[in-house]
Structure 1
């Protein structure tokens, strides 16, 4: 049996950010990861950090705060981090999309997001591959960067260990007793003053075993595709989302990285749909073969906003899960919030809006 002040369950970018921020604050911390660090949802990202999340100003506020932290990575936690600014472009083809953007804009600006409505002509200047689509307008935010998720994971892991955290990999958690502060693993039992669940797609089943009511949706499998090499002379492009179809692209080396929703049970039909939408949206790329780039399970909340909060102890129970694909963009802020909740410090944000029960309280 081992003892620690805080046991963090989950070694993805969220759990590692939490472990780093706690250890940096002088808290004895042990992180438990079922596989290798960053082997869950953190390995299935597009390596994009951005601040604009349409219709979700709360996630945008966390992303703005996190983007500031990513820019400061060389000083804290102390690692050079690739950040190539490319911008984020969202294509609107329906009047309702434009209306929704305009209604959401004040909240986005209040959250610190740099975003605005631009014309179709400007959108095509920023992404000249766009075909003759029936577009009405577009949203553009310069606050989007291509980074390296693995570098972020490794930087947080190294900094957490330097600050005194213990990182245990290949150590799956088999059960929890949150009332007694006990964590059961294949390698033995751990007692802690506080338990933090940051287990991503595995959070729901783990929390059910502990009798904790966190309304997470069943995890879904994410798949990103990559094209064959692009035609010579293809320019660098902003990360571009076709709002109606969900087709999301970014340039990765000499190829295009693509996402479009979730594959579902008929993966081949989904891939054919992606290829068809790619050909319509970017006619010059029609016929490019698509290949699987990466797959991974993704955790999700009903409103696509993370659950971050705590149940006071002793022992205390804290959670940071349900990021719904926003994890990389929210990770630094999530680590800061969990640290502040544990230390009973002002987190600088209304955490009640992130806590369980927000649907009932509005």
Structure 2
């Protein structure tokens, strides 16, 4: 093997790419990772930090359950702190309809062996002493085995552990295309140079669609801009579970600050937004509030938005992804409504990230049969941080010819009708 030949090339150093590199190296593979910025600079370092099984689509629930076993031992395995804490996940209900939906999910989840319970109003207040008794809470769904971690720390921990195992990283380097010959991948092009490998994993987040479309795999991948807000630390006022409110997700981080995000985000119109408009029409019809359409985005990209940069512990990105002021206000308004004891807690910073999504809102994961040597792990649709390490481990196993120990067939990239045909 020459110096420019690799057992596995990975595109993207998010939580999936870095964990795949780590586990592939443990499997004895010679690995090269390309990342156009720095590890975790995209959504892997900018998400809310929930590590949950609760409330997931049942096609990906086995993946989330398996990931939880990795998270339990991740700090020991990597030799680094990632802020892992098992405090449970609590989804509030403000109506009888909410409770009915929670009950339906909880009954189905019992078949997976989950510890999810339905709580009464008084049981919710016992779990959340800071919760307002005027918040009109009918009850909640609670999974004690769920947890949380620090997104940037966790991604960097996998990156550093992979480096120690001999993985090579090319940071600040974009991949221009995946090289294909005679029905199989042969490497990737970056900086006008071919880097050879007979096994390539595309885990490039929102950048995956373009690379895959160029070789015939047409995933209808879109992008949503999601805003996250963080308060000043209040370590004396504990909130152990992750909380899903009517509109927001809320987590207390390792410093005691509260991290809050509103469900949904902004859809920034692009020049090629027409491409998958039909694929997303049913989603827009069934859930019209999931994304607000921002028609001014092309002009904003040209003239800039003008916003404060987040604090230094949030990984920087050249895309300068701007948080939305309306989402920030909405998040803090609900946070203070639910927890009035924290009403005077001030906002420290806010930021945004780009969520890569697919029409059915579950990831595309696995091998592409029509192109030998191509693996895909993308489209995690805003909830990929928790299952990310297990997704990376599965990709590493597939790269070495091992079959995953959980069924990911329903997540196959081939499920979309416009995908490359054999």
TM-score, normalised with respect to structure 2: 0.77
Unpaired stretches in structure 1, ≥5 consecutive residues: none
Write out aligned runs for 1:79-98 (5 A): 79-98=80-99
Please give the per-residue CA displacement for 1:228-254, whole angstroms capped at 9, x wherever unaligned: 454x95233421111x32x11122334
**Mapping for residues 65-144 of structure 1, pairs under 5 Å:** 65-131=66-132, 132-144=134-146
Matched, 1:214 2:219: yes
In structure 1, distance between residues paired with 2:61 and 2:381: 13
Structure 1 residues 30, 228: closer, same or farther in 2, change over 3 A? closer
Q: Which runs of structure 2 are paired with 1:1-362 in the superposition (5 Å)?
A: 2-52=4-54, 54-131=55-132, 132-179=134-181, 180-186=185-191, 188-216=193-221, 218-228=222-232, 230=234, 233-242=236-245, 244-245=246-247, 247-252=248-253, 253-264=255-266, 265=294, 267-286=324-343, 288-312=345-369, 315-358=372-415
- Helix, strand or coil at the partner of 2:103: helix
Indicate conservation of the 8 Å contact 1:249/1:256, yes or no: yes
CA contact (8 A) 1:248 1:260 kept: yes
How far apart are residue 270 of structure 1 and its match?
A: 2.5
For 1:18 and 1:320, locate their aligned partners in 2 and report how far apart those are by CA, in whole Å. 10
Moved more, 251-260 or 346-355: 251-260
Structure 2 stretches of 5 or more lacking a match? 267-293, 295-322, 418-422
CA contact (8 A) 1:178 1:317 kept: no
Q: Distance in 1 between matches of 2:325 and 2:79?
A: 43
Shift of 1:342: 2.6
CA contact (8 A) 1:21 1:335 kept: yes
Question: Quick check: 1:219–1:298 contact (8 Å CA) kept in 2?
Answer: yes
Contact 1:90–1:140 (Cα < 8 Å) also in 2 = yes
CA distance in 1, matches of 2:147, 2:67: 12
Q: 1:3 to 1:164 in 2, by over 3 A?
A: same
Report Cα offsets for 1:110-163 as digits up to 9, x if no partner: 334321101111111111222212222201111233323333223322332333
Q: CA deviation at 1:318?
A: 0.6
Q: CA RMSD in A?
A: 2.5
Question: How many residues are aligned here?
Answer: 355
- Contact kept? 2:25, 2:31, Cα under 8 Å: yes
Deviates more, 1:259-268 or 1:348-357: 259-268
